[in-house]
Amino acid sequence: MKLSKKMTALCACVVGVALLTTSAFADVLIGSGYYNLKNAAKTTAAKLTNETDNFTIDIAATVKVDDKAIVESTGQTKCDVKNQATEESFKTVDNGKTEDGYTYSDKEESISRDGNTGVYYIYKKTNTGKDSVIENPFNVKGADDVEKIIDAFVGSLQDTVQVEETDGKKMYTGNLSDAQIPPLVNAISSYALKYGILDKNRSEDMGIPYPETNIYVLGASGKAIEGKDGIIESVIGSASASGTDENGAAHTYSVEFSVSITDINNTTVAKPDLEGEDVEYSTSGFELSEKYVGKYKNDIVKQEDNSFVKCGERIFEITSVENGVMAGKYYEVYNNGYQPNTKREFEFSTKVTKGDYFNSFTYTENGEEKTGIIEESGKQNLMVSLDIEMNDDGGYRTKDSSKNFDETFIRVFE
């Protein structure tokens, strides 16, 4: 009898564990529709950024109030992964007004067209080659944590995603009724709708009723199709919310969107032909060029009684800029009666190094090698910081904290 009690307990344990593990393993293996969809999204991102040469993404979104379209927007992005170039264009119809735009970018430059004026802005990248134009969003730092938080939020709703497989293609569909939406998600979305997406002024501008009370999410639905190669070809989704305006009438606010990925390895990204177009150039960061050769001054000012008195001038003179090498001198000129004991003065001929955020150079003053920073200030002026120290995080700080000038040197035109 003793043995049989032990056996019974053991049997219960074995049966329980067997049921539990087989079912749980099956559950993990089958995975929820949500997990499969998530993996499909990851596969898609990975394949598109690593295994394909190029592709096109089309996006369309519509905002409706009581089934009347208020804003319609379409966009197309062509990506050339091989050559790291993209072409983006979009068109928005907002309450009857049409707006469009176009941007081309590659490692060297980005060209964007203002839809209203037709002017092309060319923006030269100075930090070429560092950032890739197309990146896998799942590899971004912190993506794992975000994924876990979303998983926890989704909870049992994971299983509302349904998967159907036909002809090697998988179709994911999901429908959330209002009863399934977690209260917190409902509250946050409703709050966002009332105070973020639509505020009172905006809804008046757009001529749509503003939801005052009883705002809640009516439901959401989505559908995604995964192709044979594991890449999601298209996604369509919609979400809607209800709210009552100040007159007590209920309105439905909904968003519909669709995304499709097409022309894999069949997309050509071409730089626009700017022949005969209105073009404006700009560069990122500061690039020292010959046009900066000249004299720059910064007043030395002192406070006497209740007035400012000019004592002299700091002069920063660039005599030549060639292949990134800048030559010139720094000196100080004092007015009579304000001569100091020592005047700061040095000459330099140094290469200007382009950093991530600023340009630096080295110079020798009193036999000591020091570092300085040179930046543009306004159009023609310079900002020069002398005797600085680089920080580990890529920034810098001035060693002499007692300096009492603003480091802006005004171009002197003679």
Partner 1 sequence: MSDFRAAYINELYKISKKKKITVTIILSVLAVILTGIVVYAINRFAGIRITGYSEFPTLALSVFSYTLIPLFTAFVCIDMFSSEFVEQTIKITLTGPASRFKVFTAKVLAAATFIAANLLFVMLITLIVSLFINGIPTDLFKIILSYIFEFFPIFVFALMIILICNITKGTVSAFMISILVFLLLNGLGIVFSAYKSFLFTSAFDWYKLFLGSYINFHKIFRVFVILCGYGIMLFGISNYLFDKKEL
Binding site for partner 1 (CB under 8 A): 5-6, 8-13, 15-24, 26-28, 30-33, 35, 148, 151-152, 155-157, 159-160, 162, 173-183, 186-187, 190-191, 194, 211-218, 242-243
Q: Which residues pair with 232 in a beta bridge?
A: 226
- Residue placing its CB nearer to partner 1 in the complex, 174 or 372: 174
Distance in Å, CB of 214 to partner 1, minimum: 5
Q: 3-class DSSP state for residue 385?
A: strand
Distance in Å, CB of 247 to partner 1, minimum: 14
Distance CA 186, CA 218 (A): 9
- Residue placing its CB nearer to partner 1 in the complex, 216 or 346: 216
Of 119, 191, 147, 134, residue with least CA distance to 41: 147
Distance in Å, CB of 384 to partner 1, minimum: 52
- Residue placing its CB nearer to partner 1 in the complex, 211 or 312: 211
Distance in Å, CB of 179 to partner 1, minimum: 4
Distance CA 94, CA 207 (A): 11
Distance in Å, CB of 158 to partner 1, minimum: 9
Of 167, 156, 159, residue with least CA distance to 37: 159
Q: Which residues, 6+ apart, have CB-to-CB distance to 172 below 8 Å? A: 33, 36, 37, 40, 161, 162, 163, 222, 223, 224, 225, 226
- Residue placing its CB nearer to partner 1 in the complex, 16 or 378: 16
Residue listed under structure tokens 């964007």: 112
Distance CA 210, CA 275 (A): 48
Within 10 Å of residue 300's Cβ, how many Cβ atoms? 19
Q: What are phi and psi of 140, to 5 degrees?
A: -65, 145
Distance CA 288, CA 328 (A): 13
- Residue placing its CB nearer to partner 1 in the complex, 52 or 242: 242
Distance in Å, CB of 255 to partner 1, minimum: 17
Query: What is the Rg, in whole angstroms, of the alpha carbon atoms belonging to the chain?
Result: 32
Q: What are the angstrom distances between the C-alpha of 253 and each of 182, 210, 213?
A: 19, 10, 13
Within 10 Å of residue 105's Cβ, how many Cβ atoms? 19
- Residue placing its CB nearer to partner 1 in the complex, 176 or 386: 176
- Residue placing its CB nearer to partner 1 in the complex, 198 or 318: 198
Distance in Å, CB of 183 to partner 1, minimum: 5
- Sign for the CA dihedral angle at 163, 224, 38, 256 comes to negative
Distance in Å, CB of 212 to partner 1, minimum: 5
Distance in Å, CB of 26 to partner 1, minimum: 6
Q: Which residues, 6+ apart, have CB-to-CB distance to 73 below 8 Å? A: 59, 60, 61, 62, 90, 91, 92, 93
- Residue placing its CB nearer to partner 1 in the complex, 142 or 183: 183
Q: 3-class DSSP state for residue 40?
A: helix
Q: Do residues 235 and 224 make contact, with C-beta atoms less than 8 angstroms apart?
A: yes
Distance in Å, CB of 211 to partner 1, minimum: 7
Within 10 Å of residue 229's Cβ, how many Cβ atoms? 13
Distance in Å, CB of 406 to partner 1, minimum: 48
Transcribe 244-259 into DSSP letters. Answer: E-TTS-EEEEEEEEEE
Q: Is 208 left (phi over 0), alpha (psi -120 to 50) or beta?
A: beta
- Residue placing its CB nearer to partner 1 in the complex, 168 or 179: 179
- Residue placing its CB nearer to partner 1 in the complex, 179 or 273: 179
- Residue placing its CB nearer to partner 1 in the complex, 243 or 312: 243
Residue listed under structure tokens 């749509």: 208
